[in-house]
A and B are shown apart, each in its own frame.
Chain A
Amino acid sequence: MALGTAFGSLLLSVFPFFASAGSAPTDPAAQFQQDPVQKVAAGVLLVLAVIGIVIVIYSLIRYRGSAVGPASWVVLITGAVAFPLLITGVGTILVFQRAERVEFCASCHLTMQPFVDDLKNPKSNSLAALHYRNRYIADDQCYACHTSYGLFGTVEAKKEGLNDVYKYYTRTFHLPIKLKHPYPNNDCLKCHGGSAKWIASHQDYKDALFSGEATCMQCHADSNPAHNIAQNVVPAPKR
């Protein structure tokens, strides 16, 4: 495995686009935010895919679909059973990791690009831009604010995400994009709720916010909207 990972790192250095896919090359902080799990998984996946292709092509040329003798069975099972299962297993780790990136959200650009543009707009006064500009959230900013904690939050996000991907590629989404449910206080309070600075400035409302009687957006929607996309033109979907 160590040899495979080393070989993977070598391949990633030769073909850097496999490792950097989805990350923002213009962001100078990106180089300090290397996720080791993602790096190792990408390396292993790349190695498995390349070796798998070599094995299958060798098997097709050498044995042409016949399985006579143990050697042909070993090659066949390695290429057509073991490697595909390994790749889908390792790939699942990477799928969960990469689906959290801002650039992944932005890849549905017909619908999401205005939100990401606002997020990265240094002049925007939206909450999203404020959090991004000041790196209140180090990375995966969309995911951090739009996913509740815990296993079910993650699973729910993936389920809804797949639904969104389906709607996007079948062009069955409706503009303007809206949240399915009101934005939960929990997704603000999971970070701010324990902050001394926040508690001091929200002394009068914190109980109402914790109990859910009041929502964060009741106050913040006007001064600092979650996303400031009024000036962005959302292009009509192509049919």
Chain B
Amino acid sequence: MIPAITARVPNKPFKLDSATTRTLLIAAQLLALVIFVLALDFLRLTTGGTLFLFSTIAPVLALLAVAAVGGVATYRFLRRHSLFEVEDVEPGQVIFREGEEGDCAYFIHDGEFAVIREENGTESVIARLSAGQYFGEMALISNAVRNATVRAVTPARVAVLGKQNFLTMLSLMPHTQQDVMKTVNERAMRKAKK
């Protein structure tokens, strides 16, 4: 008999949610706009003030913009390449939202999750998932955005598999691929019926 392995320390890795990501990317672009305006101002009229702003403030803003975009890109890259990283989830915590880019699939170890669709401002739960099931695979296979929101109902624990490793796993394991495709088809049919 294989002994059960349980992690004793709660795993709460750094998480960049979609709102923070959006704020960072918009901020980076606004910083870039300020740099462009400082450059035009310096070109239009070279004085001590415009030269000082362009030669000292613009490089700092450029570094901040690079850090924001680079930070988001690195986070996305690490998520895409994560290999069954275990995460503890609190009740009510949103794992991902409808319309976001899909970068990983989630395998439920413990707890319960609600799959939610939003129409005309009202939420409806289209499925409940528990230990042994998985979610988030559709966006990875279809290369589309998330088609539903997933929220934890109870305290839960999931194993996160990045897109890259998920697709590699499917290509190397035909039986798993068939199983996943069957689940995807079932979910797509259920969604179509609703």
Contacts and interface: CB of A to CB of B under 8 A. Distances in A.
B13 to A, nearest CB: 20
Main secondary structure of the interface of A (DSSP, over half): helix
B46 A107 contact: yes
Contacts of A64: 22, 26
Interface string B37-51: 101101111111101
Nearest to B68: A80
B185 interface: no
Interface of A: 17-18, 21-22, 42, 45-46, 48-50, 52-53, 56-57, 59-60, 64-69, 73, 76-77, 79-81, 83-85, 87-88, 91-92, 94-95, 98-99, 101, 103-104, 107-108, 162, 164-166, 168-169
A68 B101 contact: yes
A84 B61 contact: yes
Interface in B50-75: 51-52, 54-56, 58-59, 61-62, 65-66, 68-70, 72-73
Contacts of B54: 91, 95
Most buried by A among B32, B55, B56, B58: B32
B48 A60 contact: no
Contacts of B49: 107, 165, 169
Main secondary structure of the interface of B (DSSP, over half): helix
A95 B51 contact: yes
Interface string B87-109: 00000000000001100000000
Contact of A87 (B21, B35, B45, B52): B35
Given A59-B29, A80-B29, 16 more contacts: A21-B44, A46-B43, A56-B29, A76-B29, A80-B31, A80-B32, A81-B70, A84-B32, A87-B35, A87-B36, A87-B62, A88-B58, A91-B55, A107-B46, A166-B52, A169-B49
